[in-house]
């Protein structure tokens, strides 16, 4: 109730039909609020997938991070006490195997780091929880305190896109190696969180005569930190699970060494359909199928009229590009990302009358496909998407 609010005021408002509420102060500490926020992320995962996050090399990297977080929450009695009243999904009662050692007497800073939240000062400054060595204090101070990212809605789509591209194999996670890898627009996994370098400040010389910069780093739990580049570098080196998330075309797509899905001698092909379907006929000059094959293209399209992938019609071969060690999966995922906004939305019936939705036909002029393939080959395609309005490749404003 506002200061100075009297009983007469209350009665007057009641007569007017206005209800008053007394603002309740939160009884939770900042640490408890952060633990609850981390647990709510796990609950959203369960709502989306219908199960708890699980460990395993075949699992998405984000799911594996959530699984570690859940293990930590289950192992800490004080954390359980905070979130058990909120556990309507029974997550704390689960028995998923943990691939990491749960240390019973883990200190607060390390616990919160494993939970993906930031270590803060004790609520009671008179309470001496533990005494750390100078080295431990320096290590804790290397990463600046995190705070709420007020414009996180701007960055949230970037994390979601990175998640999708990791799942699709367009991006990969690799061990962190050098400071040169820390650049604006790069993603990393550090302290159990995915971190995005949103900005790199002007370079300066530190007191130890070393080059350094101030970074703005956004984390996938909606927080951010103002941290030195070398501090982030040290954190990544110390973290055994620290990883760099590659750019979409890093891999590379056209590699020097073969992988399981590579084609020793591949050919990218561009086809034009002869279908008399109204949607195809109206856009025939700009409607193209883009694919890759390790054999002869003529053989690949010989029975096009019987294949819904080819719109149940014969095709013309418009262009081909010879390449070596082509990753079919990565190439197709990359093409779908670039031209996704121009994908043909059409349903074709196969020979048995079953509906099929082809995925590799795009309303894109041939000269734009030529440019895209060249950019893929020289590695400059990163961050580009197709703009149907201008019929050109443009920088993705969300990246």
324 within some domain: yes
Number of H helices, E strands in the chain: 12, 17
238 within some domain: yes
134 within some domain: no
256 within some domain: no
Q: Residue 10's pLDDT is what?
A: 57
Q: Residue 143's pLDDT is what?
A: 46
DSSP codes, 243-280: EEEPPTTTTTSB-SS--TTEEEEEEEEEEEE----HHH
Q: Are 107 and 180 in a shared domain?
A: no
Q: Residue 16's pLDDT is what?
A: 56
Q: Domain total for the chain?
A: 3
Q: Residue 268's pLDDT is what?
A: 85
Q: Residue 211's pLDDT is what?
A: 82
Q: What is the mean pLDDT of each run of 10 residues along the chain (399 residues)?
A: 54 54 60 83 84 79 81 85 88 57 41 43 37 42 68 91 78 80 89 90 79 91 90 86 75 47 66 92 92 84 90 92 70 84 88 85 92 80 86 79
Q: Residue 144's pLDDT is what?
A: 45
Q: Residue 138's pLDDT is what?
A: 43
Mark which of 190, 214, 245 sits at the end of a domain. Answer: 245
How far apart are the C-alpha atoms of 35 and 116, rounded to whole Å? Answer: 9
Q: Residue 220's pLDDT is what?
A: 92
- Look at the block and give the residue holding tokens 């909606």: 222
Q: List pLDDT tens digits, range 35-76.
A: 888 888 888 888 888 888 888 766 777 777 888 888 888 888
Q: Residue 257's pLDDT is what?
A: 47
Q: Residue 8's pLDDT is what?
A: 59
Q: Are 226 and 280 in a shared domain?
A: no
Mark which of 215, 245, 275 sits at the end of a domain. Answer: 245
Range of the domain at 87: 30-119
In this prediction the pTM is 0.40
25 within some domain: no
CB contact set of 279 (below 8 Å; sequence gap of 6+): 344, 346
Q: List pLDDT tens digits, range 113-143.
A: 444 444 433 333 333 343 444 444 444 444 4
Query: Angle at Cα 373 formed by Cα 371 and Cα 378, nearest 5°?
Result: 95
């Amino acid at each position: 109730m506002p200061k100075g609010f009297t009983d007469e005021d209350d009665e007057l408002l009641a007569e007017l039909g206005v209800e008053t509420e007394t603002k309740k102060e939160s009884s939770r500490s900042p640490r408890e609020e952060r633990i609850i926020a981390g647990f709510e992320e796990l609950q959203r995962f369960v709502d989306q997938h219908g199960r708890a996050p699980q460990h395993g090399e075949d699992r998405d990297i984000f799911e594996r991070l959530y699984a570690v977080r859940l293990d930590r929450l289950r192992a800490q009695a004080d954390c359980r006490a905070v979130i058990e009243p909120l556990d309507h999904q029974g997550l704390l009662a689960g028995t998923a195997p943990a691939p990491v050692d749960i240390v019973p007497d883990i200190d607060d800073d390390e616990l919160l780091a494993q939970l993906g939240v930031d270590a803060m000062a004790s609520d009671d400054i008179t309470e001496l929880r533990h005494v750390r060595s100078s080295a431990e204090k320096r290590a804790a101070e290397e990463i600046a305190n995190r705070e709420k990212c007020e414009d996180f809605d701007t960055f949230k789509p970037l994390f979601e896109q990175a998640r999708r591209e990791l799942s699709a194999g367009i991006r990969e996670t690799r061990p962190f190696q050098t400071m040169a890898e820390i650049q604006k627009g790069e993603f990393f996994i550090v302290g159990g969180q995915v971190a995005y370098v949103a900005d790199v400040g002007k370079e300066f010389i530190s007191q130890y005569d070393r080059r350094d910069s101030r970074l703005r780093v956004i984390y996938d739990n909606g927080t951010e930190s103002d941290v030195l580049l070398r501090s982030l570098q040290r954190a990544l080196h110390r973290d055994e699970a620290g990883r760099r998330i590659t750019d979409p075309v890093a891999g590379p797509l056209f590699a020097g060494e073969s992988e399981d899905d590579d084609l020793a001698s591949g050919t990218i092909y561009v086809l034009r359909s002869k279908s008399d379907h109204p949607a195809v006929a109206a856009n025939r000059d700009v409607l193209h199928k883009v694919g890759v094959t390790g054999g002869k293209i003529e053989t690949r399209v010989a029975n096009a009229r019987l294949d819904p992938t080819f719109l149940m019609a014969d095709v013309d071969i418009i262009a081909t590009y010879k390449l070596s060690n082509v990753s079919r999966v990565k190439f197709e995922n990359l093409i779908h990302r670039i031209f996704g906004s121009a994908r043909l939305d059409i349903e074709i019936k196969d020979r048995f009358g079953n509906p099929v939705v082809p995925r590799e036909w795009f309303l894109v002029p041939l000269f734009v496909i030529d440019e895209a393939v060249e950019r893929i080959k020289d590695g400059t395609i990163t961050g580009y998407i197709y703009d149907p309005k201008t019929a050109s490749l443009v920088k993705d404003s969300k990246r």
